[in-house]
Amino acid sequence: MVPWLSRTALDTIGVATANYDLQAIDGGQPNSLTQAYSNILNMKRIKRYMQVVRASSQDVVDKQTALFAEGKGGSKNLMSILNPYSTFFFAGHGSTSSTMAWALYELSNHPEYQTKLRGEIKTTRAGVTRRGDGEMTILDFDLMHYLPALVKAVYEQLSKETLRYHPIVCSIARQSNSDTSISLDIPITLVTGEVVDSFPIERGQEIILSIFNYNRLKSVWGEDADEWRPERFLENHGLEQRTKLGLVSNLASFSSGVRGCIGLLQMQSILFELIDNFEFSPPPGDVEILRAFTGTMAPMYVR
């Protein structure tokens, strides 16, 4: 599933941002971007991937600009999005496809959520038809319950819970630009027995922040933090008062800055169609799914 989800993410990025078909799916062969992205495990490969991303982005801009000049569509303003377009490719399609893969993995192990989602999808489609529209809108996705929860964890809740339980980036590093200290919300006991509620940071010191650990912190998410349970985003456990982290439901998955993830709606729209048209189940036999680092944390199965 992961390679095909990656191709799907590439094609949706191409169409949504530049009205351009990258033919990652219909081409039949792996796209140059997907080939370059495969197994990114070191900086040399990341640099090579960025070279391919830049070249592919420039190719899209050139072709669309030429179409505009010939009066055949396209756009004359694509040069202004060349750098963001490269970012969409690098940061968008791998993380999106891996998150969707984890969401489908959890759904295959929890078929009851597939049933709930299909019911919600059927109701949403009926509402779109009643008002005379042919396509879903952003508001339609926002009004769903389970699909956003799937991606967060069933549509919005599924989305959120998957981002919480399976963060694609498990940690981030930050470097202090001055001497300071970090206050702790919950005091900790050192191996010496000393209890501290803050610790000093020197200028230039690098700090590793664990997204994975925070997203499963029981003091934030409850005693069932190690369980994939979308309903937690539909319930009020006082989590909003406990923490105020980031832009999406107290998740550390996108750090805690002011920038959000444009891939959330992309994931929801793709999962909407997949779940509406297919049923998902675990692979046959004794198969173990492991988390593997391939640039992002992707599922890998071992027999």
Residue 117 has pLDDT above 80, yes or no: yes
Residue type, 36: A
Task: Give the model's pLDDT for residue 41.
Answer: 47
**pLDDT tier, 282 (very low <50, low <70, confident <90, very high otherwise):** confident
> Stretch 160-183: mean pLDDT, rounded?
88
Annotation-wise, does 170 bind a ligand? no
| Distance from C-alpha of 92 to C-alpha of 80, rounded to nearest angstrom | 19
- Between the ranges 4-18, 45-59, 289-303, where is the mean pLDDT highest? 4-18
| Distance from C-alpha of 147 to C-alpha of 222, rounded to nearest angstrom | 22
**pLDDT tier, 286 (very low <50, low <70, confident <90, very high otherwise):** confident
**pLDDT tier, 15 (very low <50, low <70, confident <90, very high otherwise):** confident
Model pTM greater than 0.85? no
pLDDT in tens, 204-237: 999 888 888 888 988 888 899 999 988 887 775 5
DSSP for 138-165 reads HHHHHH-SEEHHHH---EEEHHHHHHHH
41-50, 106-115, 117-126: least confidently modelled range: 41-50
**pLDDT tier, 137 (very low <50, low <70, confident <90, very high otherwise):** confident
Q: Are residues 282 and 111 in contact, defined by beta-carbon separation less than 8 angstroms?
A: no
Domain residue ranges of the chain, discontinuous segments joined by +:
1-109, 111-171+211-303
Task: Give the model's pLDDT for residue 30.
Answer: 57
Q: Name the more confident of 77 and 107.
A: 107
DSSP for 160-229 reads HHHHHHS-SS-EEEEE-SS-EEEEEEEEEE-TTS-EEEEEEE-TT-EEEEEHHHHHT-HHHH-TTTTS--
* Paired sense of beta strands 171-175 and 206-210, if any: antiparallel
Task: Give the model's pLDDT for residue 40.
Answer: 53
